[in-house]
Amino acid sequence: MALAAIVAVLTPSVATLWVSTPSATDIQQRVRDVTNGYGVVLLSQDDVPAVLAQAVVATEDERFYSHHGIDTIGLGRAFLYDVTHSCRCEGGSTITEQLVKDVYLNGNDEGYNKLVDTVMALKVEQLISKRQIMADYVSEITTGFGRYGVTSAACAYFHAPLGSLTLGQYALLAGVTQAPSVYDPTVNPTLAGQRRAAVLSAMLSEKFITPSEAASAGQEPVLVPGPAPATC
């Protein structure tokens, strides 16, 4: 019933917004502009380690590879949770929607912007591959207090290039973005470690890793001590 209500409300708006919103053909230029503004690396789809992609999917969007920009199952579940708990606690946004929010909506998907976000996500998925969406997203996401992109975070937290990290390190990078100022390991390593454990649990649930791999990764140090090098 909740999902049917959502569809009934959104369908007319989506039809109108499809015409009135940008075509999304400039998505890559917008991502490039954002990463240039942050001074971080824009990754290609071949630059994203498979384990990092798995960690992000398990944590943020478990049906990423099967939906077309919006996750109706996740949206319905989030709607029901928020209604029954009288709060806006569950976002239900996909990775594609979060990318759109950052590069088209200045990070704001409240109110009317949420409808725009939904339509633009559908458009983006028609234009670029899932692997490119993932690369764009992890290139520009907030990965700590005033820090953006997984490449710079890998250097700052682990003193290593993105492609040479451990399972535990990839899990931490995937987890910190949900609340960057809270889970930044340089700010609160204890909470960062707890968040990493939650990501590893999600990866285990999705069968991306084994119990022994999760246990081993959970024993890794949260940070590599010492100042970050100028380059990694």
| Statement: residue 232 has pLDDT above 50 | yes
* Each residue's pLDDT tens digit, 41-89: 999 999 999 999 999 999 999 999 999 999 876 554 544 434 333 434 4
The structural domains of the chain, with segments of one domain joined by +, span: 1-40+66-128, 141-232
Is residue 153 within 8 A of residue 176, CB to CB? The reply is: yes
Q: What's the number of CA atoms in the CB half-sphere (13 Å) around residue 192?
A: 26
Please check whether residue 177 is in contact with residue 93, taking contact to mean a CB–CB distance below 8 angstroms. no
Taking alpha carbons only, the member of 60, 40, 50, 75 closest to residue 175 is 60
Taking residues 24-37, report their average pLDDT: 98
Higher-pLDDT residue of 95 and 79 is: 95
What's the CA gap between 117 and 104, in Å, rounded? 8
- In this prediction, residue 80 carries a pLDDT of 45
Comparing 77 with 108, which gets the higher pLDDT?
108
228, 215, 223, 173: which is closest to 195 by C-alpha? 173
Q: Which fold has domain 141-232?
A: Penicillin binding protein transpeptidase fold (1.10.3810)
Place of tokens 């109706």: 72
Q: Could you tell me which residues come within 8 angstroms of residue 115 by beta carbon, excluding any fewer than 6 positions away? A: 10, 13, 14, 17
What pLDDT does residue 2 have?
47
Q: What is the per-residue pLDDT across 141-182, written as a single tens digit (0 to 9) for each?
A: 999 999 999 999 999 999 999 999 999 999 999 999 999 999
pLDDT of 139 over the 80 cut: yes
Calculate the CA 10 to chain-centre distance: 24
Mean pLDDT of the chain, nearest integer: 88
The whole-number pLDDT of residue 172 equals 98
Res 204 pLDDT > 50: yes
Cβ atoms 199, 172 nearer than 8 A: yes
Q: Token pair for residue 116?
A: 């725009």
Beta-bridged to residue 147, according to DSSP, are 144
Q: What is the pLDDT of residue 227?
A: 84
pLDDT value of position 18: 83
